[in-house]
Amino acid sequence: MPRTRADLLAIALFRGRSAASWRLSSLLSRTAYPAVFGSFGAGSVLDRPRTVLGPERIRIGRECVIGRDAWLACEPGGGPIDIADHVSFAPGVHLHAMAPISIGARTSFAESVYVGSAEHAPHDHSLIRGTGPVVIGEDCFVGLRAVILGGVTIGAGAVIGAHAVVTKDVPAGAVVSGVPARQHIR
């Protein structure tokens, strides 16, 4: 079915808006963000974050892509968040740190992943406490809407399935899924 002139105009406007937004994010990533973050590597792009808390305690490596609506939060006195080189976050990834969070090189996160080393106190939601450091190794993949809780180490090359809730350490190269996440034997 041929497209109408209105269809073509709508497509052009949508593409233009997306391209313009990405260009603005790239410009901010080259000029403003390096002065605000603990470190911000060359070639990295942070695209329209939803929340950034404690940027001076957030270190982002070289050539990282952090998709739109990211939530990068280091609570006062908490963190740091260390993101190595060549890490990619799909839109909506949420990192919440009271204890340190470390992410290895070449690790990829699907949409809406949550990684937290902090929790609210059960009887006073204004208090936030650490739940232990999170270490995610190099070359990992974290699936759609997965949750990684504090005190967890994920070994290099591990795969975390979509919607998994990781409450225990994951060995290098393992594939885990489920609630709570369990390892699949190959």
| Residues assigned a catalytic role | 120
Residues 22, 29, 101, 125: is their CA dihedral positive or negative?
A: negative
What is the rounded CA–CA span in Å between residue 72 and residue 53? 6
What is the rounded CA–CA span in Å between residue 183 and residue 186? 9
DSSP string, 93-126: -EEEESS-EEE-TT-EE-TT-EEESEEEETTEEE
